[in-house]
């Protein structure tokens, strides 16, 4: 809609996770370095947590795009407390048959899969998104699976990704053994006020525009309103560009941001203020 008017080749502020738009702020860079280190050093458990919309999924997708062909990846993303047999979901994540098998047969099949991949020189990486939704018993099942090893080599690496509640879940007394297996963990905080302008300009640049489009005052207002959460920044910026385009304004200033917030507060379903 506004792309041609602002000299953009695509929408810069989509809320869909896209590694091409990943902004490596200080904390995101540290979290990504931790992920790379964990995978390279075959850590048993790695935990990445952060607020909704802070960029966890984008970070993980960027990692996946940079792994070698010898790393087999399974992703479990639709987690919930009612998962009674997590192993079935793991088999599904790796494209393995799981219907009609007993729990013992499932375990034996998954163990054989891990051993065979190890023998072929491959590594197996499981990523569990929204892991805070899993019950303690499901998380304990993951710990038991992590016991499968060959000599000193662990055959299954696990990355748990979740919201801040994940930290509290893993601190429960009944999960002490799992917590002791966590080699690397990192909490991704929101962008600080000084990073928000850089984040906005980075996404504009990836979309094909070198010149600043948002004034410094507008960026400061966005930082205040969004709390530094990337997804909230995207929603604000995208709506502001629609407003600017409608009024044929070449720059987005703080007045446009305030108009967006005012209209959303008055006419929208959700408040932006």
Chain centroid offset of residue 125 CA: 16
Give the residues across from 252 on adjacent strands. Answer: 214
Q: What percent of the chain has pLDDT over 90?
A: 70
Q: What is the pLDDT of residues 39-64, one digit of tens each?
A: 888 888 999 999 999 999 999 999 99
User: What gap in Å lies between CA 29 and CA 264, rounded to an integer?
Assistant: 33
Give the residues across from 269 on adjacent strands. Answer: none
Q: Is residue 220 within 8 Å of residue 205, measured between CB atoms?
A: no
Q: 205 pLDDT exceeds 90?
A: yes
Q: At what angle do helices 216-226 and 254-267 cross, to 10 degrees?
A: 30
Q: Which two tokens stand for residue 173?
A: 């007394």
Q: Count other C-beta atoms under 10 Å from residue 208's C-beta.
A: 13
Give me the pLDDT at residue 163, please: 93
Give me the pLDDT at residue 1, please: 83
Q: What is the pLDDT of residues 122-171, one digit of tens each?
A: 999 999 999 999 888 889 889 988 888 877 788 999 999 999 999 999 99
Q: 270 pLDDT exceeds 70?
A: no
Give me the pLDDT at residue 271, please: 59
In the predicted model, what is the mean pLDDT of residues 20-49? 90
Q: pLDDT category, 213, cuts 50, 70, 90?
A: very high
In the predicted model, what is the mean pLDDT of residues 65-75? 92
Higher per-residue pLDDT: 225 or 184: 225
Give the residues across from 91 on adjacent strands. Answer: none
Q: Which two tokens stand for residue 246?
A: 């409608």
In the predicted model, what is the mean pLDDT of residues 65-73? 92
Q: Among 61, 222, 43, 194, which residue's Cα sits nearest to residue 129?
A: 61
Chain centroid offset of residue 56 CA: 2
Q: CA-CA-CA-CA torsion for 119, 125, 131, 134, nearest 10 degrees?
A: -20
What are the DSSP calls for 215-272, one per residue?
-HHHHHHHHHHHTT-HHHHHHHHHHHHHHHHHTT-SSB-HHHHHHHHHHHHHHSSS--
């Amino acid at each position: 809609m506004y792309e041609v008017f602002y000299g953009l080749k695509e929408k810069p502020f989509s809320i869909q996770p896209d590694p091409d738009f990943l902004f490596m702020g200080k904390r995101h860079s540290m979290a990504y370095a931790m992920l790379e280190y964990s995978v390279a050093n075959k850590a048993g458990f790695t935990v990445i947590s952060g607020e909704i919309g802070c960029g966890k999924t984008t970070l993980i997708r960027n990692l996946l795009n940079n792994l070698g062909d010898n790393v087999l990846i399974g992703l479990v993303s639709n987690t919930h407390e009612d998962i009674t047999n997590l192993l079935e979901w793991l088999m599904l994540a790796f494209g393995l048959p799981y219907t009609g098998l007993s729990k013992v047969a499932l375990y034996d099949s998954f163990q054989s899969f891990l051993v065979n991949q190890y023998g072929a020189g491959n590594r197996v990486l499981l990523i569990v998104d929204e892991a805070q939704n899993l019950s303690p018993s499901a998380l304990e099942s993951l710990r038991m699976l992590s016991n499968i090893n060959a000599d000193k080599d662990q055959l299954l690496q696990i990355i748990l990704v979740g919201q801040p509640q994940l930290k509290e879940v893993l601190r429960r007394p009944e999960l002490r053994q799992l917590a002791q297996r966590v080699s690397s963990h990192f909490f991704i905080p929101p962008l600080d006020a000084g990073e928000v302008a850089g984040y906005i300009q980075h996404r504009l640049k990836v979309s094909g525009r070198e010149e600043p489009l948002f004034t410094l005052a507008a960026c400061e207002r966005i930082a205040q309103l969004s709390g530094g959460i990337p997804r909230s920044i995207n929603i604000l910026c995208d709506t502001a560009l629609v407003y600017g385009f409608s009024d044929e304004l070449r720059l987005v200033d703080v007045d446009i941001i305030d108009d967006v917030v005012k209209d959303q507060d008055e006419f929208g379903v959700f408040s932006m203020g």
